[in-house]
Amino acid sequence: MVSANLIERIRTICCMKETIDAHTELWGDLGLHGDDAFELLEALHTDCGVDFSDLDFSRYFPNETEGIYYWWGRRIGLWRTRFAPLTVGHLEAVVVRRQWFEP
């Protein structure tokens, strides 16, 4: 079960009203990308002491410019995303461990 605090942080950044659970993908389901994704990770680093130094950001999230391009392209069925899935559940495990590790 994912903590309500983490879900609330994600909702605050994403402004999403849909259900968020451990299986929700940050990019794939919520469209979290670029500055917003960085803001979430930075908040977890600052508030919880999580070390994200080993995270390859571009493997999991598009940058700010390409985020909209990929999001709409995928929504209208033009292609599948090239970004690896990162779930809320895995992010919570990273917070508990306070160190990034690959899913």
pTM above 0.85, yes or no: no
Dist CA 33 CA 53 (whole Å): 18
Strand ranges for 15-96 from DSSP E: none
Q: 4-97 — its CATH code?
A: 1.10.1200
Structure confidence by residue, pLDDT tens digits, 25-66: 998 888 888 899 999 999 999 999 999 999 999 999 988 767
Domain spans in the chain, listed from the N-terminal domain onward: 4-97
Dist CA 87 CA 26 (whole Å): 6
Sign of the torsion formed by the C-alpha atoms of 19, 89, 92 and 26: negative
| pLDDT of the residue at 5 | 84
Dist CA 99 CA 101 (whole Å): 6
